[in-house]
Chains A and B, each alone.
Chain A
Amino acid sequence: MQLAISAQGIGKGFRTGLWGPVKPVLRQVDLTVAPGAIFGVLGPNGAGKTTLISILATLLLPDTGRAKVLGLDVVREAARLKERINLAASGAHFLWCMTVSDSLRFYGRLYGLGGRALTNKVEKLLDLFGLAEHRAVTFERLSTGLKQRLALAKALINDPELLFLDEPTSGLDQEMAQHIREEILRLNRETGVTMLLTTHNLREAEMLCTEVAFLKGGQLISEGRIPDLQRRLGLGDHLSLIFKDSPAPLDYGRLPGVLRYTVQDSRVDLVLDRVDERLPAILEAVYLMGKKLTKVVVKPVDLEEIYHEITHSPE
């Protein structure tokens, strides 16, 4: 199976000032993304997310390393690769005096579309993103949400096989951000397009991404599926057992999958490896002790914990 993205040893630095030293922004980054995935690149500000995405999107030349996107080298075969990728970025910016329709037609032509094919494509995208009634509105008069929808529509003008999404919901209100996320998921489901997205919003990454990678100080410090990362980092799901009177007299540390626990009054808080698999056995053990539970709270580990663990660990 050909990988959608395969990068080895990517490094990039920028000179500070005209003659100043080169400050490294990316250091020896390796990355693989499977076709059809929605892959999230996470990290604090200045981690190198945009630099990485820009190198993969042929907008920036790497200093070291090699990267292939859709089987094509991002440096030597950039011209061919550009035909098959596209980008939607936060804070969409297009020419202020061009209407929604003009903008889509302009970008369509940049991909070689013309005549009936261009018209059909533009009409389809206007409908798909609810932009048809705003077709004659110039970019400067669009609301932030409509601008972002236009950015996504533009990113699909060439039916890309791989889409780069740089903070796609940044600056949008909750409702619009949710709408865009649903749109992204629908596109991925219906067209199978691979997506590489950067985001600060961990909930967004959790909702959208099948896999994530964490960048810190220009280095990729962790990569994988969220449950795998959880296990690798020793993080667990949370289970709280609240008893009617005193807790069941169990050695909670010996129960299956328990990583750690605390007991306080009538409440036992457990951190478990894969709560969904362990819960029946734990509840059975409690039941056998004859103790009544008033409440059971399950909270799977979230990306925020993983992010916190990774970004606060020493480099």
Chain B
Amino acid sequence: MKLRTHLNKIWAFSTRSTLVNRRNVFAIFEMVFWPLIGVFSVGLLTRFLSLSGETVSFILIGAVTMNTVQIAQLDLSYALLYSVWSKSLKHEFIAPVRLFHILVGSGLVGLVRGLLVFVIMGGLSVYFFDMDLGRPGPAGLIFFLLGIFLNAAIIGALVLSLVLRFGQRAEVAAWAFSYLMLLLCGLYYPVSVLPQGVQFLAQLIPLTYFLDYFRHFYGFPLTSSHPLLYGFSQTVVYLFVSYGLVALSLRSAYQRGILLRLSD
């Protein structure tokens, strides 16, 4: 198949996600309101507790990361939920569309929206709470962002897999998944404060390493020797696993008639 044909198919999902976001006032709300609440509630709390500049940065990094991951994974998670809600799933799957068209097309919009949230929240953190977002330098920032966007893609793909198995009921998973992951990866606290058994789980989450990496620029000691190596290695494995799970779920949906059931 020609590259242009693939690009058109990918573009189809990108434009659809963009249209939904543009015409849905709640999507704009999602991108601006919650990040604002996130920065100010956490930022003001740190001010009330009279925390040091480094500790404020530690916590604000958590707040910025959480909202960025949440928004970035949504477009991917919703890629099939839009079709389920509008009962048009069979029209999408009767077309010669492959999984990667859906994942890349919707994921790109998630990437752009995630970046916007990161910029908005980062800007507010710098302006109102004196956070030095530039301290890790361009390379540090790029590695960190790449890490959190790939993690958002893993969450999105896992939600897609659940949607194909359980339909609309999986909608809750779109939020629950990321909150659970964010709870375990030490968002507002070092992983060391988690109970022993839970710390082990935290080590299985790539985001733990990316937060560890980013925070060490603010004077916090690294808890692993090679955070980027561990983080990206796990990410690659999870990306393959999540893609495989979506492919398996799709195969099962074809077998069990779920595509039809979700279109009725």
Contacts and interface: CB of A to CB of B under 8 A. Distances in A.
A87 B260 contact: no
Contacts of B6: 112
A106 B94 CA distance: 14
B96 A94 contact: no
B255 interface: yes
Interface stretch (B7-15, B43-51, B69-77): B7-15
B96 A59 contact: no
Given A87-B90, A94-B86, A110 B254 contact: no
B260 A50 contact: yes
Contact of A106 (B5, B16, B90): B16
B16 A95 contact: yes
Contacts of A86: 94
B234 interface: no
Given A109-B11, A112-B9, A93 B96 contact: no
A22 to B, nearest CB: 11
Interface stretch (A96-104, A187-195, A252-260, A276-284): A96-104
A110 B9 contact: yes
B223 interface: no
Nearest to B86: A95
User: What does DSSP make chain B's interface, helix, strand, loop or mixed?
Assistant: helix
B91 A87 contact: yes
Interface stretch (A77-85, A129-137, A206-214, A225-233): A77-85
B138 interface: no
B97 to A, nearest CB: 5
A57 interface: yes
- Interface size on A, as a range, is 35 or more
Given A61-B254, A93-B87, A106-B15, A111 B94 contact: no
Interface in A127-174: 138-139, 154, 158
Task: In the A-B complex, list the 10 residue pairs whose CB atoms are closest, starting with the nearest.
Answer: A109-B12, A112-B5, A93-B87, A110-B95, A114-B8, A82-B96, A97-B23, A95-B86, A109-B8, A61-B255
Nearest to B95: A110
Nearest to B252: A61
Contacts of B94: 57-59, 82, 85-87
9 contacts: A87-B94, A93-B88, A94-B86, A94-B91, A98-B19, A107-B91, A109-B12, A111-B96, A158-B95
A109 B9 contact: yes
Interface string B232-264: 000000000000000000000011110110010
A87 B95 CA distance: 9
Contact of B259 (A60, A97, A158): A60
A114 B7 CA distance: 9
Contacts of A95: 16, 20, 82-83, 86, 88
B4 interface: yes
B11 to A, nearest CB: 6
A59 B260 contact: yes
B25 to A, nearest CB: 11
Nearest to B251: A61
Contacts of B85: 96
A284 B23 CA distance: 74
A105 B8 CA distance: 10
Nearest to A86: B94
Contact of A102 (B4, B19, B93): B19
A256 B143 CA distance: 90
Contact of B95 (A54, A98, A111, A139): A111
A89 interface: yes
Contacts of A82: 94-96
Nearest to B87: A93
Contact of B96 (A57, A79, A97): A79
A287 interface: no
A76 to B, nearest CB: 13
